[in-house]
Structure 1
């Protein structure tokens, strides 16, 4: 799928909002019994597209209104604060990628929420790995991760990787790889993943640590080469590319996952009912087709097990972030 097609797909949710067919709740008043699907970003992003894919079937299944409500700002943090301040009655569900809940607590010194105390993980929807991809700055003879790391050591002025932003999963996976391999890699954050990838495709920077959904179109065209991925084993979409763990860096394992979240303290029966409803809708063929178009993999896990995973990830990212010395200034 071309980058243009992906952008059109993501922009389609914004177009739906403009028509009023699936308008954000900021322009309407939620009446009693309405389920709010909260998104901490503007219409058109991946979390927003997923929320809008769930909305119609959830509404049918529940027999009551379901609306998507966008609360953009502060890199998604305002959405989490909105969820924290909602009633713990199961009528507000946030759709978000995990770093806002698992990495941000270690990045922002004055965060307005506590993931463990304020937020209850519901169920996951989709995931994707992070990949190290190189572009035309790197010689064609560099075919493996070991080749690239050796090239970086021989060419320290070019030893750099781009990411969508500082403080992201991609940032810290790159830092982990640099530390594990003893390689000095300069992190170059951008304002968004597409811009980060484009600088590598254009030959301005050697490599990018990126979400694979952004990289796949460029890999298909040959403009990027993927040398490693953050899955524990091989990534199904790129079976010929070894994982970082296979290449000898066993601790460089990560996924970005999109999931649903509730306010802590929501009654267990409500949590169980919502988990069943969301899982059933997420398994529908049209949602599966959308995930495939976005380059995402379906992720399904029972609510208790998913909550345990989030807790483990929250703890795991702490020392990784601390080791980099990075802290956000807002």
Structure 2
């Protein structure tokens, strides 16, 4: 089952044109479920800068961290449905977490509604100095893992994360006992990898690029259906025989349920205009992401596709839901 977020997203490009209606809000806030300084926070701030005065007289970003993005979803679901409170989130709290948590404090289908895609990125598997230089492909890595079971491990941004499950699925598909080590974010995992404490890390491609360019780690594969714009020399999972695991990561914008359709249309148009700005495109590229404007309807379709993908993957690796 190849994941086709990029193809779905492209259908949303050019969907909106013309000037937006004058603002009816004094202030709007974009809620981010992760700490300032990360890629999703950057995307939120770049779009916020462009949403005023067309959508609101002022637009601010508020970070509500915790529970892998769930605190932010809770904050938006309970807000007034007037367009003044906007969620930007990776898909995990709305798609993956229903399979990796026993219960969720919100309904991922009915408590928030889609507005527009935001940005997309590939995942990558990278290896550090613990892994011999002759390991150049995923198959090589899995063969090395089978030969060196004590060293066969990989890190990710946390147990039950998208990166954790992609790595686990690679190990299972390749018949290697690949032990997962969870960290508080990708960067601490990468530091241990380049220091030789762990063998590999799975995470968003952009997280690896400074160290990869410096020769401190090696990208073996990226997750998208085609080679990444920023990593043209790195083969994909599809090319290396793992088509069913192909996956594009992305962020999207949502608002509370019962937000009027006209408000959603206005916000969608403002986001599309922001994501088309050359300085926003350049800013996203600096962290190895591409803009992903979509219609609200298209984002809803993508979320359904994403949910099916994780349902299948979680079952395939036998992941047990946590509290």
Q: Which residue of 2 aligns with 1:126?
A: 119
Residue 115 of structure 1 aligns to a residue whose secondary structure is: coil
How far 1:67 sits from its partner (Å)?
2.1
Aligned residues of 2:28 and 2:56 also touching (Cα < 8 A)? no
Between stretches 69-78 and 116-125, larger displacement belongs to 69-78
Aligned residues of 1:181 and 1:249 also touching (Cα < 8 A)? no
Q: Within 2, Cα distance between the matches of 1:42 and 1:235? A: 26
Between stretches 258-267 and 217-226, larger displacement belongs to 258-267
1:227 matches 2:220: yes
Residues 108, 303 of structure 1: alpha-carbon distance in 2 compared, 3 angstrom cutoff: same
Between stretches 113-122 and 49-58, larger displacement belongs to 49-58
Q: Residue 244 of structure 1 is aligned with which of 217, 237, 254?
A: 237
Q: Which residue of 2 aligns with 1:276?
A: 269
Residue 54 of structure 2 aligns to a residue whose secondary structure is: helix
Q: Residue 66 of structure 1 is aligned with which of 59, 67, 71?
A: 59
Aligned residues of 1:116 and 1:311 also touching (Cα < 8 A)? no
> Pairwise mapping of residues 1-330 of structure 1 onto structure 2 (< 5 A)?
33-62=26-55, 64-327=57-320, 329-330=322-323
Deviations 1:17-60, CA, capped at 9 Å, x for gaps: xxxxxxxxxxxxxx964222112233333322222222232112
Residue 117 of structure 1 aligns to a residue whose secondary structure is: coil
How far 1:114 sits from its partner (Å)?
1.4
Deviations 1:124-172, CA, capped at 9 Å, x for gaps: 1211111111111111111222211111111111111111111111011
Residues 63, 233 of structure 1: alpha-carbon distance in 2 compared, 3 angstrom cutoff: closer
Length-normalised TM-score, structure 2? 0.88
User: Which one has a larger percent helix, Structure 1 or Structure 2?
Assistant: 1
Q: Within 2, Cα distance between the matches of 1:144 and 1:326? A: 26
Deviations 1:230-281, CA, capped at 9 Å, x for gaps: 1112122221221111111111111221221112222222211111111101
Residue 235 of structure 1 aligns to a residue whose secondary structure is: coil
Residues 311, 196 of structure 1: alpha-carbon distance in 2 compared, 3 angstrom cutoff: same
Residue 173 of structure 1 aligns to a residue whose secondary structure is: helix
Count of residues in Structure 1 that have an aligned counterpart in Structure 2? 300
Q: Which residue of 2 aligns with 1:25?
A: none
How well do the aligned residues superpose, as a CA RMSD in angstroms?
Answer: 1.8
How far 1:328 sits from its partner (Å)?
5.2
Residue 90 of structure 1 aligns to a residue whose secondary structure is: coil
Residue 197 of structure 1 aligns to a residue whose secondary structure is: helix
Q: Within 2, Cα distance between the matches of 1:74 and 1:132? A: 24
Q: Point out which structure has higher relative CO (alpha carbons under 8 A, 6+ apart).
A: 2
Residues 259, 169 of structure 1: alpha-carbon distance in 2 compared, 3 angstrom cutoff: same
Aligned residues of 1:197 and 1:210 also touching (Cα < 8 A)? no
How far 1:79 sits from its partner (Å)?
0.8
Residues 63, 114 of structure 1: alpha-carbon distance in 2 compared, 3 angstrom cutoff: closer
